[in-house]
Amino acid sequence: MGELTSLSWVWETPVFPATPSSLFSASQPAKGIDIRNTVGNIPLEWYEDFPHIGYDLDGKRIYKPLRSRDELDHFLDKMDDPDYWRTVQDKMTGQDVRLTDEQVALVQRLQKGQFGDASYDPYEPAVDFFSGSMMIHPVTNRPADKRSFIPSLIEKEKVSRMVHAIKMGWIQPRRPRDLTPQYYDLWAQEDPSAILGRHKMHVPAPKLALPGHAESYNPPPEYLLSEEERLAWEQQEPSERKLNFLPQQFRCLRAVPAYGRFIHERFERCLDLYLCPRQRKMRVNVDPEDLIPKLPKPRDLQPFPTVQSLVYQGHSDLVRCFSVSPSGHWLASGSDDHSVRLWEVNTGRCLKTIPVSGVVKSIAWNPNPAICLIAVASVLLLNPGLGDLSATSSTDQLLSAFSPPEEPARQPVEWQEASAEEHGHGLRLRICHNKPVKQVAWHGRGDYLASVVAAAEHTQVLMHQLSRRRSQSPFRRSHGQVQCVAFHPSRPFLFVASQRSLRLYHLLRQELTKKLMPNCKWVSSLAVHPQGDNVICGSYDSKLIWFDLDLSTKPYKVLRHHKKALRAVAFHPRYPLFASGSDDGSVIVCHGMVYNDLLQNPLLVPVKVLKGHTMHRDLGVLDVSFHPTQPWLFSSGADGTLRLFT
């Protein structure tokens, strides 16, 4: 407590409170009068221009002592007065105060950095709370733990985890902080290279307009308003006035009075600066016609089908699929009436009707012109017996030349020969699947056939070799429900379309090459460009997606020309044309030019909308396909007809 008391005295003493005993002198009022200054803690410079320096307890002014002495009088006092060195001036009262010996000693100790209390000893001996000598009996005689001399396994595991995280790059060392201060001009011009360039939308406040001749104190006579103009100016609304003041003339600058609206205008200027938002709007002077892509005119892109030429009638139910022969003379169609019909293209005459055991969902003519063979999605292999007799006989010779191996391999399907009665209808082979088949697709050489089974297994896609009568499942696991498959026209690739993705597999390497993302809800159909570098697929959410395989796995272009679901898409094998059929009953033909220059993007131009099919059960066009050599288009619909557009 003695230390605390002395410290509080140290801090109170230098203030030197103005008590009567320390402030009175021979020239001061009589004893007992309290002239303590009561102005509080305010700067005393405020009283420099006043004759008084504050107020006492009664509220009366404390006047400053008369200071009529010059530097010579101060020098004489310094020479004559022995107490001049210990006399200081009290700023609160303006009086001269003589310091006592105790106060002088206190000031000297504080100047030397010593304690204010002279009786305080900072070096007195400290009292030890504990003994420093060794005792006989220990505090505890507990034996040492095992963990005190064996390495901890928990800490070892933590350290190993940290070392592994550092090796894998999961833990990064802390970068040394850059302690150099970064200064920049807050009001600098906003060039893009400056630090303020990132504040792109900042707009500086507009500057005030410079004063003109009308603001002059002695304006030219033409700027002064006449009496009529003055009355008209006063009757106008403030927002409609051309000038917000009246020009006046004075004989000299000294005669100009203070501007009456100065504070009002300054206040309005401040309101404009912080209340009126400023926004930079990027306006581009572009002609609206330039925003429309420059597409060639459809008449410059001919030939393409424009009119309906033939209607093939005969089916009594939905015509879900059809296929054109490689020569372009014959047409095979499959329907829900459990039949396959063969047509002559040029006349529209039905040449043959082959009954099958179920709904025909897919049909494909063998692309090899030397073989006359049709695959029907049961799976049935038919020899229609049309056209060249040599092609028909060579097809039967190819199928009859097969000799079964001594030890037949285990296969996922069973190959069966047709009976004598079925042979008369044209049926040659039957490939028996466990579940219904919804699509068949031939390889370009005509020896391999792919079938898609309606099952959520890894055996959804099966590959069949015609010459050796072998079948296999190329995939070990399933990546969703397969919708359709297609072979690459020239390379050993297989396109497999599931509901949400399109995968490209290399058949020789047996690996996934590319995965395309159509960004649609449900893929319905697929077609490959004759050159093999571009793919189109249709979806049930009325989108046609064009993929450029050399460009990206994302769609190059998404066309939304149809209003309902797309059922089929097709490329022309020779002309730069592709078409799409939809449930809205229309077929849209587009010009799709693919250039040999890889730097030039494909040109996609819709050229014609073909209509002719009628709606049935909310279904429209179910399949589309082009003629192999001519710019003709075939389509089949839910109304039980096939139509030829030329």
CATH of the domain at 377: 2.130.10.10
Residue 188, pLDDT score: 58
Q: How far is residue 181 from each of residues 176, 177, 184, 191, 388, measured CA to CA in Å? A: 14, 11, 10, 22, 90
In order of 352, 531, 601, 602, the CA distances from 596 in angstroms are 43, 10, 10, 10
d(CA 545, CA 458): 26
Look at residue 199 in the predicted model and tell me its pLDDT. Answer: 53
Nearest CA-CA partner of 632 in 616, 645, 619: 645
**Alpha carbon distances (Å) from 343 to 355, 356, 384:** 15, 17, 11
The residue among 75, 93, 111 that closes a domain is: 93
Alpha helices in 517-573 (DSSP H): none
Calculate the CA 109 to chain-centre distance. Answer: 72
Bridge partners for 515 per DSSP: 503
Residue 306 has pLDDT above 50, yes or no: yes
- Contact indicator for 321, 635 with CB cutoff of 8 Å: no
Would you place residue 141 in the very low, low, confident or very high pLDDT band (cuts 50, 70, 90)? confident
DSSP per-residue string spanning 234-253: HHS-TTT-S-SS-----SSG
Count Cβ atoms below 10 Å from residue 136 Cβ, excluding itself.
4
Amino acid 219: pLDDT: 92
Burial zone of 626 (CB within 10 Å; 0-12 exposed, 13-18 middle, 19+ buried): buried
Query: Model confidence over 220-248: pLDDT tens digits?
Result: 999 999 999 999 999 999 888 888 888 98
Q: What does the pLDDT read at residue 6?
A: 34
546 CB neighbour count, 10 Å cutoff = 20
Residue 33 pLDDT = 44
The pLDDT of residue 349 is 85
Of 59, 93, 127, the last residue of a domain is 93
Burial grade of 462 (CB within 10 A; 0-12, 13-18, 19 or more) = buried
pLDDT, tens only, 264-296: 888 988 888 877 766 667 777 888 888 887 888
Helices (H), 150-261: 153-168, 227-235
Position 261 scores a pLDDT of 84
Q: Indicate whether 24 pLDDT > 50.
A: no
Distances (CA, A) of 454 to 45, 433, 435: 100, 10, 7
Q: Does residue 611 contact residue 589 with C-beta atoms inside 8 Å?
A: no
Window from 280-284, 382-386, 480-484 with minimum mean pLDDT? 280-284
Q: For residue 517, is it within any domain?
A: yes
φ/ψ region of 419 (left if φ > 0, alpha if ψ in -120 to 50, else beta) reads beta
- For residue 314, the model assigns a pLDDT of 85
In a domain, 371, yes or no: yes
Q: Over range 142-157, report the average pLDDT.
A: 89
Say if CB 612 and CB 644 are below 8 A apart.
Answer: no
CA–CA separation, 615 vs 621, rounded Å? Answer: 8
Average pLDDT over residues 21-39: 48
Share of residues in the chain with pLDDT > 70 (%): 91
Q: Phi and psi (nearest 5°) for 12?
A: -85, -30
Q: How far apart are CA 349 and CA 314, in angstroms?
A: 10
Question: Which tops the pLDDT comparison, 517 or 36?
Answer: 517
SS3 state at 618: coil
pLDDT exceeds cutoff 60 at 192: no
Q: Among the listed ranges 252-261, 263-272, 291-300, 301-310, which one has the minimum average pLDDT value? A: 291-300
Percent helix / strand / coil, the chain, rounded to 5: 20, 25, 55
Distance CA 245, CA 234 (A): 10
Residue 185 in this model has a pLDDT that exceeds 70? no
Q: What angle (nearest 5°) sits at the alpha carbon of residue 458, between those of residues 453 and 462?
A: 50
Per-residue pLDDT at 191: 55
pLDDT confidence of residue 168: 92
User: ∠ at Cα 536 (302, 319), nearest 5°?
Assistant: 85
* CA pair distance 259, 220, nearest whole angstrom: 20
Q: Are 13 and 117 in contact (CB under 8 A)?
A: no
Q: Which band of pLDDT confidence, cut at 50, 70 and 90, is reported for residue 164?
A: very high
Q: What are the φ and ψ backbone dihedral angles of 575, each rounded to 5 degrees?
A: -90, 155
Number of structural domains (the chain) is 2
For residues 107-129, give the mean pLDDT.
87
Supply the mean pLDDT for the chain.
Answer: 81
Q: Is 260 left (phi over 0), alpha (psi -120 to 50) or beta?
A: alpha
pLDDT above 50 (res 140): yes
Q: Which of 31-35, 154-158, 188-192, 624-628 has the lowest mean pLDDT?
A: 31-35
Q: What are the backbone angles phi and psi of residue 21, rounded to the nearest 5°?
A: -70, -30
Tokens matching residue 627: 């003629």
Least confident of 172-186, 509-523, 536-550, 620-634: 172-186
Residue 395 is which amino acid?
T
Instruction: Assess if residue 383 is contained within a domain.
Output: yes
Q: How large is the average pLDDT for residues 498-516?
A: 87
Q: Report d(CA 15, CA 25) in Å as an integer.
A: 20
Q: What local confidence, expressed as pLDDT, does residue 374 receive?
A: 85
Instruction: Give me the pLDDT at residue 194, please.
Output: 53
Please report which confidence band the pLDDT of residue 394 belongs to, taking 50, 70 and 90 as the band edges: confident
When pLDDT is cut at 50, 70 and 90, the band that residue 61 belongs to is confident
In a domain, 277, yes or no: no
In a domain, 4, yes or no: no
Q: How much is the pLDDT for 187? A: 59
Mean pLDDT, residues 397-420 taken together: 76
Count CB neighbours of 603 within 10 A: 14
d(CA 367, CA 490): 13
Look at residue 18 in the predicted model and tell me its pLDDT.
Answer: 39
Split at pLDDT 50, 70, 90, the class of 10 is very low
The two tokens of residue 545 are 């997606």
In-domain check, residue 640: yes
Please choose, from the candidates 102, 100, 93, the residue with its C-alpha nearest in 3D space to the C-alpha of residue 10.
Answer: 102
Is 319 a member of any domain? yes
Mean pLDDT score, 540-565: 87
Cα–Cα distance, 273 to 263 (Å, whole number)? 15
What pLDDT shows up at residue 105?
92
> What tens digit of pLDDT does each residue of 63-113 get?
887 777 788 888 888 888 888 889 988 877 777 889 999 999 999 999 999
Q: Residue 205: what residue type?
A: A
| Residue 319 CB contacts under 8 Å (≥ 6 apart), including other chains | 333, 334, 335, 622, 623, 636, 637, 638, 640, 641, 642
Residue 195 has pLDDT above 60, yes or no: no
Q: Quick check: 571 and 626 in contact, CB under 8 A?
A: yes
Q: Could you tell me the residue range of the domain that residue 416 belongs to?
A: 299-399+411-645
Predicted local distance difference test score (pLDDT) of residue 14: 38
Task: Please report which confidence band the pLDDT of residue 20 belongs to, taking 50, 70 and 90 as the band edges.
Answer: very low
Q: How far apart are CA 461 and CA 314, in angstroms?
A: 33
Token look-up 């009589």 returns 30
Contact 623, 615 (CB under 8 A): no
Quote the percentage of the chain above a pLDDT of 90: 11
**Is a pLDDT exceeding 70 seen at residue 13?**
no
Top-confidence residue, 74 or 398: 74
End-to-end C-alpha distance for the chain, whole angstroms: 116
Residue 172 lies inside a defined structural domain of this protein: no
